[in-house]
Amino acid sequence: MPTTKTVYLSNPTVLIGGVDVTQNTNAASLEIGYDQLESTSFGDTGHRFVSGLQMVNVTLTMFMNYGTGEIEATLFDQVGDGTTTLVISPSGSTESASNPEYTITNAMLSSFTPIVTTVGELSQVSVNYVGGTWVRDVTP
C-alpha cells in the first residue's frame, strides 16, 4: 500500500538579489518548466513536442515595510531590471534531496504595488517574477 508523506513547511528560505526576505515572506510559489515546441511532421498521427527554453514563474507574498534595505526598497530596485537572482528552498539553507534549492537567474519583476494598505490590517504585497533560467541544487 502506498504511503503519503505530508510536508509542513515552517522554515523556507527566500533571497531576492542577495537580500534575505525570508522573515517578511509568508507565501511563495515556484513554477518551472520548458516552453513546448511542436515537432509534428508528416506521417505522425498525433501532435509531438520537444522542450524549448526554460520557463520560470515565481510569486511571493510579503509583509510590506519601508526604509533602506527593507522590502519596498528591495522591490523598487528590481522593477524592470530583468537580471534579478532569486534563491528559494523549502526548509532552510542546507541543500539535500529533501530540501532542494532553486536558483533563478535573470528573472524579471515588471511591476509591483508599493503602497497596499487597509485600516486595521498588516500591509502585504504580492509580486510576480518571470523569465530567466533555473537550476536545482541538492548537493549539501
Task: State yes or no: pLDDT of 8 exceeds 70.
Answer: no
Task: State yes or no: pLDDT of 2 exceeds 70.
Answer: no
Higher-pLDDT residue of 4 and 14 is: 14
* Domain at 13-137, CATH from 2.40.128, 3.40.720, 3.30.70, 2.30.110: 2.30.110
Q: Determine the Cα–Cα distance for residues 41 and 60; give it in Å rounded to an integer.
A: 41
Decide if 16 contacts 84 (C-beta within 8 A): yes
Prediction pTM value: 0.85
Q: What is the pLDDT of residues 41-73, one digit of tens each?
A: 999 999 999 999 999 999 999 999 999 989 999
Q: With the C-alpha atoms ordered 117, 118, 119, 122, is the resulting torsion angle positive or negative?
A: negative
Tell me 114's DSSP state: S
**How far is residue 68 from each of residues 25, 73, 86, 102, 110, measured CA to CA in Å?**
18, 6, 20, 27, 21
Burial of 91 (0-12, 13-18, 19+ CB in 10 A): middle
Of 90, 86, 98, 97, which is closest to residue 133 (Cα–Cα)?
86
Instruction: Compute, in degrees rounded to 10, the torsion defined by CA atoms 66, 22, 20, 76.
Output: -40
Decide if 88 contacts 73 (C-beta within 8 A): no
